[in-house]
A and B are shown apart, each in its own frame.
Chain A
Amino acid sequence: MTDTPQRPTETPTRPRITWDEIARSSALLTFLAILAALVISAILIVAADPQVRGSVSYFFERPGDTLGAAWSAVSGAYTSLFRGAIFDYEASGARTIRPITETMVAATPLLFAALGLGIGFRAGLFNIGAQGQVLMGGAMAAWIGFALELPIVLHVIVALLGAAVVGGLWAAIAGVLKARTGANEVIVTIMLNWIATWLITWLLTTSILARAPNRPISPEVDPSARLPLMLGSQFRLHWGFVLALLAAVGVWWLMERSTIGFKFRAVGANMDAARTAGINVNLVFVMVMVTAGLLAGLGGAAQILGADHTLRASSAGSIGFDAITVALLGRNRPAGIVGASVLFGALRAGSPLMQTASQTPIDIVLVIQAVIVLFIAAPPLVRTMFHLPGRPGSRRAVEVAS
């Protein structure tokens, strides 16, 4: 008789929703989530519109007034969003296409950072640290850009490489801590975001990053270090966007065609099986974080060297956090992330015109983004709303039967 109590070896595992699972839901769901977000935002636009509120008081006498005002509020907001983000048919000459170039400028850093995050999510790492990595990379790019004197071409390349290295190293901290000690990457990367923010804020008060005392802003980067403009000085569109698209192709190759990506995906899909097959899981953690940080660092560099040209503590904006949404919306796949980053770039580029042309609060864009995230993260909710069937193959009938 054995005295050792045994645990059943095949305990049924609880259903656990991972980010990658969420991201694997169908493209239809993504589309419906965006649609639902636009509809819900339309309701808020109506509610916020002063003319609608004015006409509601006599709604029962003349309902047409309210409905007409509601229609003009929503259509005004969305057409001005379109004009600000895609194509301004009311402008003349080259300025008609300026909005789409602005969308691309805004999409560039998001695309870089989201590509890195997507790799992490597919490898099972919930890297929340793109914000810090973007900022650190941007700061390095700015410093190389204004502090070093290098020949043209070489200068921008060195600045980009420096940003990639610093972003990668910053992310590696979380990777190494997880590999060595098992520290949860979510918490570590969130904390690293704060450390990066305050480190840069402090450096901007010193002579390292700032020239004038009491002015927390770096000098402009040398023209030789800037990402060259693509369409001349009329537009801000720079070659960073093309680099980001190339990076998307590179990430696709890395994940689908290389041995490194195979390891990343294996670890993300089943860490135990990967370990049993001889894959060094801890090394993969570090490599995934470095790759993600490298791309986020490039995103920061693109923002500084391409668009801003100076560094502030707020240079990263909310790029790192928006990139999480972009990666999810793009279902962690490079092609999807390209689409999602352009969508978010458009929302960002179009919102100022929406505010000025139709008096719709700029915050409505944040609502649209937030509602998209909400629906993407809760596929059953969208399925219920649109009466879609459950995901086929989510549970094997054979398993139920046995």
Chain B
Amino acid sequence: MKLELRGITKRFGDLVANDRIDLLVEPGRIHALLGENGAGKSTLMNVLYGLYTPDEGQILIDDTAVEFTGPGEAMAAGIGMVHQHFMLVPVFTVAENVVLGHEPAGPLGIINLSQARELVRSLSEKFGFDVDPDARVEDLPVGVQQRVEIIKALSRQAEVLILDEPTAVLTPQETDELMTIMRSLAEAGTAVVFITHKLREVQAVADEITVIRRGKVVATAEPTASQAELASLMVGRDVVLGVQKNPAEPNEHRLEVNGLTVLDAAGTKVVDDVSLTVRGGEVLAIAGVQGNGQSELAEAILGLREVGTGSVQLDGTELVGRSVRDVLGAGVGFVPEDRSKDGLISSFTILENFLLDQHDRPPYARGLALQLDHARAKAEEFAGAFDVRATSVDTLAGNLSGGNQQKVVLAREMSRSLRLLIASQPTRGLDVGSIEFVHRRIIEERDAGIPVLIVSTELDEVMGLADRIAVMYRGQVVGIVDADTDRDTLGMMMAGVTDDPGEEAGDD
């Protein structure tokens, strides 16, 4: 089945999310849709999937124009979509999830589960999925859950399969496995649309590349194009890939975490006996797949989570048991991983967000009175220094782009003299330009001689920023290695596998 988009235009008010986009997806090919966050990739796919109605343009299947009013019609026409966030029922089995919505029913409307199991088994064998139809989805690793989504689409005779940022939640190994699956799907004649902003993956798997920027197709490229070329197409200017930095010059300041254990509400150990040291003037990056205790470790250091056992000492001062306010007061800067939830108040102005953690300390407060004039001067100074693009500091934070929001958070945290910087996912969801900027500021803090702790699930970021890398798996540090360790080794460690007998391994 050949799918063609002609002149698709979609507007939201004044914003043109898709501007006369043409796209041709052919059977047996992997078509990568490359673009930054907000470029309009997802909007385009939602148009294709019947979630949005295009303002202009046509969708053609095998040269016949079609119109979808909802995902049901798109699915019936042979279009399948695997969303970034899975649409699975966690307590159902794989087979139950796959047939959900079009259950094969016997007499009296009883679901024929053995038929469903057979369906999963045959698709699984055909493409080498290795999925047990009777496993409960919540017990499966993320990579396998994703395969369940793919099986779900294929079981509905999808001939065009859209994968929306499929690698965002995967380990490097799982990513490789997914790419193998994409290959075998293409060989079987499926047209695959692969939406991503990761250049490496595009190069590895795509047959064709369409680059989208600000709602427009700016180029089509061959997979042989270099990463630098693709990046500049995507951003619209030359960009520096990787992080420019000098070797670390560690000093005597240090953060020492010793035997730290954190329990979640259910009593499970989310951080399990973690010990690590970060010296002043170096970046220690914590690598790991999302959900292996890294975020909880950072939150525990800040005092947001209650610590079970263990200690956290900053230059010899114990931080465990102190309030968040005290820890911040001790000179800890914290960039939370979810800026819109934990980092900013979207209905507050830039000025108010700038004040958020310092509003009751001098010089921003005198007694109970806020010193707004002083605060405004400082906020304007830092908004300028951090290149926050807004008409004034009275702009609501919610009206800023992700990159500008993150700059507001960084400006706030770096506006006071720090003795430790903790940044969780500092560039998540940012465009390439903002990533460059954020990385540079983090390295500047390091060069000022303070310890810097980075938590990131992006391996490229970890390898670019870090002087040393600690890998976490299931709440434990499986190893601390040098920054020049190769990707494969790190990937194995992130999956809990380690062949270094000296290191503590994951418990399976």
Q: Which residues of A contact B (CB under 8 A)?
A: 1-11, 257-260, 262-263, 265-266, 269-270, 272-280, 393, 396-398, 400-402
**Which residue of A is nearest B368, CB measured?**
A258
Known A8-B85, A9-B290, A262-B355: A257·B369 in contact at CB below 8 Å? yes
Known A259-B370, A276-B304: A401·B324 in contact at CB below 8 Å? no
Bound complex: CA of A4 vs CA of B90, how far in Å?
A: 13
Bound complex: CA of A8 vs CA of B352, how far in Å?
A: 30
What 11 additional pairs, Cβ within 8 angstroms, besides A2-B171, A2-B291, A6-B169? A2-B142, A11-B85, A257-B372, A258-B369, A259-B359, A262-B355, A269-B348, A270-B345, A273-B343, A278-B323, A397-B13
Quick check: A269 and B355 within 8 Å, CB to CB?
A: no
Bound complex: CA of A2 vs CA of B365, how far in Å?
A: 48
A70 to chain B, nearest CB (A): 44
**Which residue of B is nearest A392, CB measured?**
B13
* In the assembled complex, B495 has its CB within 8 A of some CB on chain A: yes
Q: Most chain-B CB neighbours within 10 Å: which of A272, A273, A397?
A: A273
A283 to chain B, nearest CB (A): 10
Q: Most chain-B CB neighbours within 10 Å: which of A258, A262, A401?
A: A401
Quick check: B12 and A393 within 8 Å, CB to CB?
A: no
Chain A residues, Cβ within 8 Å of B360:
259, 262-263
* In the assembled complex, B399 has its CB within 8 A of some CB on chain A: yes
Q: Which residues of B contact A (CB under 8 A)?
A: 12-15, 17, 37-38, 40, 42-43, 84-86, 90, 137-143, 145, 169, 171, 173-174, 215, 289-292, 302, 304, 323-329, 334, 336-338, 341-348, 352, 355-357, 359-360, 365, 368-370, 372, 398-399, 401, 473-474, 495-496, 508
Bound complex: CA of A270 vs CA of B344, how far in Å?
A: 8
Known A275-B324, A277-B356, A277-B357: A4·B173 in contact at CB below 8 Å? no
Known A398-B15, A400-B17: A5·B43 in contact at CB below 8 Å? no
A4 interface neighbour in B40, B325, B401, B474, Cβ under 8 Å? B474
A401 interface neighbour in B43, B173, B496, Cβ under 8 Å? B43
Quick check: B324 and A276 within 8 Å, CB to CB?
A: yes
Q: Which 6 A-B pairs have the closest CB atoms?
A: A278-B325, A277-B357, A401-B17, A8-B85, A397-B15, A6-B291
Quick check: A273 and B342 within 8 Å, CB to CB?
A: yes
Quick check: B42 and A402 within 8 Å, CB to CB?
A: yes
Bound complex: CA of A258 vs CA of B169, how far in Å?
A: 43
Quick check: B143 and A401 within 8 Å, CB to CB?
A: no
Known A9-B290, A258-B369, A397-B14: A266·B345 in contact at CB below 8 Å? yes
The contact sample of 25 A-B pairs, CB cut-off 8 A, is A1-B141, A1-B143, A1-B171, A2-B141, A2-B292, A2-B495, A3-B141, A3-B474, A5-B138, A5-B145, A7-B291, A257-B369, A259-B360, A259-B370, A269-B346, A270-B346, A272-B342, A273-B345, A273-B356, A274-B345, A277-B357, A278-B323, A278-B324, A393-B399, A396-B398
**Which residue of B is nearest A256, CB measured?**
B370
Quick check: B356 and A266 within 8 Å, CB to CB?
A: yes
**Which residue of B is nearest A261, CB measured?**
B370
**Which residue of B is nearest A12, CB measured?**
B85
Quick check: B37 and A2 within 8 Å, CB to CB?
A: no
B337 interface neighbour in A9, A396, A402, Cβ under 8 Å? A9
Quick check: A6 and B357 within 8 Å, CB to CB?
A: no
Bound complex: CA of A270 vs CA of B17, how far in Å?
A: 29
Chain A residues, Cβ within 8 Å of B346:
269-270
B349 to chain A, nearest CB (A): 11
Quick check: B38 and A402 within 8 Å, CB to CB?
A: yes
Quick check: A3 and B341 within 8 Å, CB to CB?
A: no
Bound complex: CA of A218 vs CA of B289, how far in Å?
A: 69
Chain A residues, Cβ within 8 Å of B174:
1
Chain A residues, Cβ within 8 Å of B12:
397, 400-401
Bound complex: CA of A241 vs CA of B245, how far in Å?
A: 66
Chain B residues, Cβ within 8 Å of A277:
324, 328, 356-357
Quick check: B359 and A262 within 8 Å, CB to CB?
A: yes
Chain B residues, Cβ within 8 Å of A273:
341-345, 356
Bound complex: CA of A227 vs CA of B311, how far in Å?
A: 59
Chain B residues, Cβ within 8 Å of A393:
399
Quick check: A275 and B304 within 8 Å, CB to CB?
A: yes
Chain B residues, Cβ within 8 Å of A7:
291
Known A273-B345, A276-B324: A4·B15 in contact at CB below 8 Å? no
Quick check: A266 and B348 within 8 Å, CB to CB?
A: yes
Known A2-B141, A259-B370, A273-B344: A8·B169 in contact at CB below 8 Å? yes
B380 to chain A, nearest CB (A): 19
B313 to chain A, nearest CB (A): 20
Quick check: A276 and B43 within 8 Å, CB to CB?
A: no
A7 to chain B, nearest CB (A): 8
**Which residue of A is nearest B327, CB measured?**
A278
Known A6-B142, A400-B43: A276·B334 in contact at CB below 8 Å? yes
B437 to chain A, nearest CB (A): 19
Bound complex: CA of A94 vs CA of B265, how far in Å?
A: 68
Quick check: A8 and B42 within 8 Å, CB to CB?
A: no
Chain A residues, Cβ within 8 Å of B84:
8
Bound complex: CA of A259 vs CA of B84, how far in Å?
A: 41
Known A1-B141, A5-B141, A276-B343: A402·B37 in contact at CB below 8 Å? yes
Chain A residues, Cβ within 8 Å of B324:
275-278
A132 to chain B, nearest CB (A): 28
Bound complex: CA of A278 vs CA of B360, how far in Å?
A: 11
Chain A residues, Cβ within 8 Å of B289:
2, 6
Chain B residues, Cβ within 8 Å of A266:
345, 348, 352, 356
Bound complex: CA of A278 vs CA of B342, how far in Å?
A: 11
Bound complex: CA of A10 vs CA of B340, how far in Å?
A: 10
B390 to chain A, nearest CB (A): 14
Bound complex: CA of A265 vs CA of B359, how far in Å?
A: 12
**Which residue of A is nearest B43, CB measured?**
A401
**Which residue of B is nearest A24, CB measured?**
B347
B365 interface neighbour in A5, A259, A274, A279, Cβ under 8 Å? A259
Bound complex: CA of A272 vs CA of B337, how far in Å?
A: 12
B370 interface neighbour in A258, A269, A280, A402, Cβ under 8 Å? A258
Chain A residues, Cβ within 8 Å of B173:
1
**Which residue of B is nearest A254, CB measured?**
B368
A28 to chain B, nearest CB (A): 20
**Which residue of A is nearest B291, CB measured?**
A6
Chain B residues, Cβ within 8 Å of A259:
359-360, 365, 368-370
Chain A residues, Cβ within 8 Å of B345:
266, 269-270, 273-274
**Which residue of A is nearest B372, CB measured?**
A257
Bound complex: CA of A63 vs CA of B127, how far in Å?
A: 81
B56 to chain A, nearest CB (A): 16
A86 to chain B, nearest CB (A): 37
Chain A residues, Cβ within 8 Å of B290:
6, 9
Chain B residues, Cβ within 8 Å of A274:
345, 356
Q: Most chain-B CB neighbours within 10 Å: which of A3, A4, A262, A396?
A: A4
Quick check: A5 and B90 within 8 Å, CB to CB?
A: yes
Bound complex: CA of A355 vs CA of B298, how far in Å?
A: 67
Quick check: A1 and B398 within 8 Å, CB to CB?
A: no
Bound complex: CA of A11 vs CA of B326, how far in Å?
A: 31
B383 to chain A, nearest CB (A): 18
Q: Most chain-B CB neighbours within 10 Å: which of A3, A8, A277, A402?
A: A277
Bound complex: CA of A399 vs CA of B336, how far in Å?
A: 20
Q: Most chain-A CB neighbours within 10 Å: which of B37, B302, B347?
A: B347
Chain B residues, Cβ within 8 Å of A398:
15, 38, 401
Bound complex: CA of A274 vs CA of B341, how far in Å?
A: 10
Quick check: A262 and B171 within 8 Å, CB to CB?
A: no
A12 to chain B, nearest CB (A): 8
Bound complex: CA of A280 vs CA of B322, how far in Å?
A: 12
A120 to chain B, nearest CB (A): 17
Bound complex: CA of A299 vs CA of B42, how far in Å?
A: 55
